[in-house]
Amino acid sequence: MTPSSLDRSSGPTCRDSSNSLAGEAERSLRARLGRLTNLPLLRGTRVQSEAERLRKQIEKLAKEPSEDGAWRSVELARDPNRPYTLDYVERLLDDWIELHGDRSRTDDGALVTGLGTFEGRTVALIGHQKGRDVKDRLDRQFGMAYPEGYAKAMRVMELADRFGFPVISLIDTPGAYPGVLAEQHGQGGWIARCQALMLRLSVPTVACVIGEGGSGGAVAIAVSDRVFMQENAIYSVISPEGCAMILWRDVADAKKAAAALRPDAFHCYELGVIDGIVPEPTGGAQNDPDRAAALLRESIRSAFAELDGMSPTELKRSRRAKFRAMGAFASLT
């Protein structure tokens, strides 16, 4: 991997107290520690012991992010000005041809699929699209796909597998569409089929969470050889609001739920859920979409360079082993 992503060979970089994982409490403690360390070491004073106590508190806060810090990650991931899939398609791919429809019922706009060229090679791309204005968001269900969307994604992935095209997935969804009609059409089953197909693909696959990575709706197109998250993205089994309603019966506790879920990129990396973190421009991808796309391009390029040296059998074996290892029990007691 290149420096564009924090990969497992080099490990994540040290966290800066100004990023989304650090709360006001940590910054305050660091300021107090700085003032203490500048004091003269007088005999009989408690400066050294107090400094050591502050260091331990800072270390604890680094591991246990504040509610405000965790919620900041959620806010950045949901920023309506963040680049969406089609914004990245415009910047990453040439000769883009969007492919519509599941060849059965309809065309689900929440999932965009198509073919294009990435640095001279044909690739298939699948990604969630939330929409920009009110009408577009309603038409695309705010990026929440129906079963027909996953059927469309499967059709394009099968096409890519048949012709040897690598697959790029861009994830940005609160989750699969939760409506009655979606359930009647077999939502859970289509999500499972999509995951199973991705495990069988013989071509290199790369996925990146570019905003929200919500539950099965996200992982349905993220069972890839390399899975990245942008620095300010989130990836979780449930939204903070949903978690708060289940655990505390009050959506007002969403900040507390976010801190407990730890959905940010750094914690997902530490848990082994993702393979690397794609840096973003200062303040988030929305501040400089061109730079954000360039950083994402570097990560995808380096991933393909690594995966191109593997045979189809090796790709499938490695991919299956990676996902089977997730969530393994360390102990039964």
Per-residue pLDDT reduced to its tens digit, 44-79: 456 667 777 767 766 665 555 556 677 888 888 899
Q: How far is CA 22 from CA 15, 82, 164, 205, in A?
A: 8, 22, 44, 33
What pLDDT digit, counting tens, does each position of 172-225 carry? 998 888 889 888 888 889 999 999 999 999 999 999 999 998 888 899 999 999
Same-domain status, 48 and 113 = no
Of 5, 40, 64, the domain-final residue: 64
Same-domain status, 60 and 204 = no
106 CB-side CA count, 13 A? 13
**Residue-range definition of the domain harbouring residue 46:** 24-64
Same-domain status, 155 and 59 = no
| 3 within domain boundaries | no
What pLDDT digit, counting tens, does each position of 243-268 carry? 889 998 888 888 888 888 888 888 88
Of 64, 81, 116, the domain-final residue: 64
| 233 within domain boundaries | yes
Best-predicted range by mean pLDDT among 230-234, 269-273, 327-331? 230-234
Q: Is 261 left (phi over 0), alpha (psi -120 to 50) or beta?
A: alpha
What pLDDT digit, counting tens, does each position of 1-22 carry? 443 445 554 333 333 333 444 4
What pLDDT digit, counting tens, does each position of 80-94 carry? 999 999 999 999 999
pTM: 0.78
Instruction: Name the percent of the chain in helix, strand, coil, to the closest 5.
Output: 50, 15, 35
pLDDT of residue 315: 96
| 220 within domain boundaries | yes
Of 12, 40, 64, the domain-final residue: 64
Same-domain status, 50 and 105 = no
The total of structural domains in the chain comes to 2
Residue range 278-292: mean pLDDT, rounded? 91
CATH assignment at residue 154: 3.90.226.10
Q: In the predicted model, is pLDDT for residue 239 greater than 70?
A: yes
| 40 within domain boundaries | yes
| 331 within domain boundaries | no
**Contact assessment for residue 222 and residue 236, using Cβ atoms and an 8 Å cutoff:** no
| 185 within domain boundaries | yes
Same-domain status, 60 and 77 = no
Whole-angstrom Cα distance, residue 115 to residue 46? Answer: 66
Same-domain status, 167 and 279 = yes
